[in-house]
Structure 1
Amino acid sequence: MNASNASHPEFQSRTVTVGGKRLAARVGGSGTPIVLFHSLLADSSSFDRILPALAATHQVVVLELPGFGQSEAVGGKLEDIADHIAGGIAAMGLPKPLLLGNGYGGFIALMTAIRHPQLAARLVLADCGACFSEPGRAAFRGMSANAREKGLGAIADVAMRRLFAPEFQQQNPDLVAARKERFLAVDPATFHGACEALATLDVRDKLAGVKTPALVLVGEQDEATPPPMSKELAAGLPDARLEILTGCAHVPQLQAPGQFMDAISGFIAG
């Protein structure tokens, strides 16, 4: 395991090798470990605004999901990615961590809990679900097709609309510009693989087997994974509660970090 200074001085970069593939993370804080899984359209830096608060009470592991940043790709299947991350958590020596996923990362965190039911102590699943509607599936296929033909730049504005409501974009142009730059750095093969995986995902029949306590969150303005998806997810999990975040869209921890922390603090302390 390698360590060096990361973007937050109190965090250290770590890498482990699982099945010959590198998995990278930033680690900081102390206490019960909490592992963060980022969105497809927003990389691991989308958690930066909540890291100080999380690190005050937990050992925080900010993953770079396979195919992002310094983490090597392991293919597009969510099952393979979940197994790879479960191996990485074991290699990092993290006993009974909490898993917190946003968007695409929420789907992977859920898949990890499905396939490795004894791994996590608790789940925070923000802006995800168990299955997309047909229009939702079509949106992923359309984005992938357009990006294949014209490049990620051709869908950057669509991606930002899926992250943030129009009013928030108008009020925060610098933040949106920075997120767009991050999105354009995503590996195209990883993006296409994720779009295909999400367009075909349906784990509704596996939710009853997830006994891990879960907090399901969703921004009321989320267009990428609308609130009905989170409602269905929370209803299907045996031990889950749902909270809708007023005024937020797909990345509430980035848009409203204080509100997000207020929503999860009691649950992750339990």
Structure 2
Amino acid sequence: PIASTAAGRWFTDPFIQSNPAVIEKLSNDLGAGSPEGYASCCEALAKADVREQLKQISIPVLIIAGQQDPVTTVADGQFMQAAIAGSQLVEINASHISNVEQPQAFNQAVAEFIQA
């Protein structure tokens, strides 16, 4: 059940419709894991509140936010950018797994950040 609903949280509908093989592979990979392990991971992430520690980061940081991400929103990225001095925020027209959904835009953002 988790694997069958994950794609809707991780990708936009157009990507899901036009990339069934990618969705099937990722769903199968997720389904191969234990439900308990997935639930424990979700619980750990839900309890991890590192907002106060963000301001302690003193190295260059690139934050990539998917404009259509219902999980980690652009507003979350903006919060991180405001808390991390000198950080850079790039928004990509994608959902949660933007490196798969929009690999060229993702790679370009990373390359430009590294070269800066």
TM-score, normalization: structure 2?
0.90
| Corresponding residue number in structure 2 for 1:230 | 77
Return 5+ residue gaps in structure 2 as ranges: none
Counterpart of 1:216 in structure 2 is: 63
Which position in structure 2 is the counterpart of 1:266?
A: 112
Where in structure 2 are the equivalents of 1:48-127 lying within 5 Å?
none
CA distance in 2, matches of 1:233, 1:190: 28
Which secondary structure state, in structure 1, belongs to the residue aligned with residue 4 of structure 2?
Answer: helix
In our comparison, the structure showing a higher alpha carbon Rg is 1
Indicate which of 96, 104, 114 corresponds to 1:250.
96
| Distance in 1 of aligned mates of 2:24 and 2:80 | 32
Greater helix fraction, Structure 1 or Structure 2: 2
How much does 1:189 deviate?
A: 3.5
CA RMSD of aligned residues (A): 1.4
Answering whether residue 14 of structure 2 is matched by residue 194 of structure 1, we say no
Runs of 4+ displaced beyond 4 Å: none
**Match of 2:101, as an amino acid?**
Q
More strand by share: 1
Task: Give, in whole Å, the separation in 1 of the partners of 2:89 and 2:7.
Answer: 25
Report percent identity of matched pairs. Answer: 29
**Greater relative CO, 1 or 2 (CA 8 Å, sep 6+):** 2
- Could you tell me which runs of 5 or more consecutive residues in structure 1 were left unpaired when the two chains were aligned: 1-153
Alignment match, 1:82: none
Residue 251 (structure 1) shift: 1.1
CA contact (8 A) 2:2 2:31 kept: no
Deviation at 1:223, TM superposition (A): 1.4
Q: Residue type matched to 1:192 in 2? A: A
Which secondary structure state, in structure 2, belongs to the residue aligned with residue 243 of structure 1? Answer: strand
Which amino acid is the alignment partner of residue 252 of structure 1? S
Deviations 1:44-100 (A, max 9, x none): xxxxxxxxxxxxxxxxxxxxxxxxxxxxxxxxxxxxxxxxxxxxxxxxxxxxxxxxx
Q: Tell me by how many angstroms 1:266 deviates.
A: 1.8
The code of the aligned residue for 2:112 comes to G
- Give 1:239 shift: 2.2
Instruction: State the 1:157 CA deviation.
Output: 2.6
Alpha-carbon distance in structure 1 between the residues aligned to 2:33 and 2:70? 21
SS at match of 1:213: coil
The 3-state SS of whatever aligns with 2:43 is helix
Q: CA deviation at 1:193?
A: 1.8
